[in-house]
Each structure stands twice: as C-alpha cells, then as structure tokens.
C-alpha cells in the first residue's frame, strides 16, 4: 500500500464523514461522497466494499472519538466538584468544535441500536460508576447521594451538555428571535451547567427527607 493510496483512502473517509454527518446514513448518496472527494464513485467500492461498510467505519471513528472525550472525567486527582467543572468545560468545548456530532450519533443510534452495542460491550459502565462512587464517597455522603441516584445524575450531566447541540437548529431558531447568539449561549453554558449541577447536589439531601410524600416513586421495588 503506497503513500498515494493512503491519501485517496483518507480522502474518501473524510468526504464520507462530512456527507454522513450532514445527511445521515439514509440521506447520504455514494455519488455525493465521490464528488466531494473529487474522484470516481467506483473507488469508494474499491476501498470500502459497500456503503454499509463505509458508514460503519465512519460511525466507529466518530463514536470512539466521542467516547474518549468522556474518559478524563474519571481521573483520580480531582475533587468531585472539579470533575464536574472539568467535564462541562471539556465536553462542551469538544462539541463546540464538532457541533453536528451529537445529533448525528443520537439519530443513528436510535435507528440502528445494534451498531453501538459492540462499543458498549467493552465498557463496563457499572464498574465505572462504582469506581466514581467510591472515589467520592465522602462528598456524596455529605450530600446524601446514594448509589441508586448515580444513573439520574450521570444522565442529567449528559443532558445538560449534549441536548443544546442535539437541538442546535431549534435553539438557533428560537434564540434568533430574542437576539441571542448560540455561541454566546454555549460559552455561558460551560459554567452555568457546572454551577447548576453543583448547586443541585448541595440541596439534594433536602428533598430526600422533606418531600418523601411528594416524590412518589423514590423507593421502587428493586427486582429480586
């Protein structure tokens, strides 16, 4: 495999990445990708056998790129609060540079859940949460946060950072009507989300005691 080969193969991959993110798997056309790469359509089939395989390659690259951005959150030398701030700062900044990735990934995962399965096969999410929990047991106990709350808290943090990008075009449309720039909003969000989460966690204990009647299904039947 020569120097030039790698170049054309990469050009295909890059063009495919652009088109797939823009149009999605169903909306993308092999001819579009060939045009954007500036070459004959047959070359796409020469290097990647089919549209499906080409998409798989692109999807895997993007998914793992996204996954890797989550990893540094679990570094040990940070306090719980620092981790939260670190997460929002880094994760949102990453999406700022790749604003279409969240919508693309969510859509394709919902459409073909099996594609993400092999990714999560290698990740023991329960373990990760357990480690995170034990690392900060003191902080979490102080806030009266039990292990069962971890899924809610983790998905909450993901919500706060990912949703604005998943709904980017909608928010841009809305913000446009009140003279707000999406990028300003995102810049502000890095700290707002962190402040918000930390503030909520500090008040968490309150609702564990006072509102036991109001918050109905807190103590659900744990299966077996």
Partner DNA sequence: ATTAATTTTGACCGCTTGGTTAAACTATTT
Partner DNA sequence: AAATAGTTTAACCAAGCGGTCAAAATTAAT
- By CB under 8 A, the residues from 114 to 153 that bind a second copy are 116-117, 120, 124-126, 129, 149, 151-152
Tokens of 45: 């089939």
**Least separation in angstroms between CB 103 and DNA:** 20
Backbone φ and ψ of 38, nearest 5°: 70, 45
Residue 74 interacts with which of a second copy, DNA, none, CB < 5 to 8 Å by class: none
For a second copy, which residue of 71, 204, 209, 213 counts as binding (CB under 8 A)?
A: 204
Q: Give the count of residues interacting with a second copy (CB under 8 A).
A: 76
175 belongs to the binding site for a second copy (CB under 8 A)? yes
**Least separation in angstroms between CB 207 and DNA:** 50
Residue 152 interacts with which of DNA, a second copy, none, CB < 5 to 8 Å by class: a second copy
Part of the chain binding DNA (CB under 7 A), chosen from 49-57, 76-84, 159-167, 191-199:
49-57
Residue 24 interacts with which of DNA, a second copy, none, CB < 5 to 8 Å by class: a second copy
Residue 51 interacts with which of DNA, a second copy, none, CB < 5 to 8 Å by class: DNA
3-state DSSP of the chain: CCHHHHHHHHHHHHHHHHHHHHHHHHHCCHHHHHHHHCCCHHHHHHHCCCHHHHHHHHHHHHHHHHHHHHHHHHCCCCCHHHHHHHHHHHHHHHHHHCCCHHHHHHHHHHHCCHHHHHHHHCCCHHHHHHHHHHHCHHHHHHCCCCHHHHHHHHHHHHHHHHHHHHCHHHHHHHHHCCCCCHHHHHHHHHHHHHHHHHHHHHCHHHHHHCCCCCCHHHCCCCCC
Spell out, one character per residue from 66 to 95, where the chain touches a second copy: x when CB under 8 A holds, - when not. -------------------x----------
Map tokens 């300003």 to a residue. 184
**Least separation in angstroms between CB 23 and DNA:** 10
Q: Could you say which residues in the range 50-69 bind DNA, by CB under 7 A? A: 50-52
CA dihedral 91, 92, 98, 101 (to 10 degrees): 70
Residues found near DNA in the complex (CB under 7 A): 1-2, 4-5, 8, 28-31, 39-43, 45-46, 49-52
């Amino acid at each position: 495999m020569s120097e030039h080969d790698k170049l054309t193969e990469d050009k295909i991959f890059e063009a495919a990445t652009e088109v797939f993110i823009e149009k999605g798997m169903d909306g993308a056309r092999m001819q579009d990708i060939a045009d954007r790469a500036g070459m004959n359509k047959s070359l796409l089939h020469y290097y990647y056998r089919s549209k499906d395989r080409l998409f798989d390659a692109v999807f895997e690259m993007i998914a793992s790129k996204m996954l890797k951005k989550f990893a540094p959150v679990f570094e040990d030398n940070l306090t719980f609060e620092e981790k939260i701030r670190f997460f929002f700062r880094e994760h949102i900044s990453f999406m700022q540079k790749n604003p279409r990735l969240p919508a693309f990934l969510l859509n394709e995962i919902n459409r073909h859940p099996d594609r993400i399965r092999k990714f999560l096969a290698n990740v023991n999410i329960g373990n990760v949460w357990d480690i995170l929990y034990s690392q900060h047991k003191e902080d979490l106990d102080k806030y009266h946060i039990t292990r069962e709350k971890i899924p809610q808290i983790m998905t909450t943090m993901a919500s706060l950072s990912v949703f604005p990008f998943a709904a980017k075009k909608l928010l841009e449309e809305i913000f446009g009507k009140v003279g707000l720039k999406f990028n300003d909003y995102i810049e502000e969000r890095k700290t707002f989300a962190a402040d918000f989460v930390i503030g909520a966690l500090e008040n968490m204990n309150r609702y564990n005691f006072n509102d036991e009647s109001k918050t109905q299904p807190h103590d659900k039947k744990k299966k077996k």
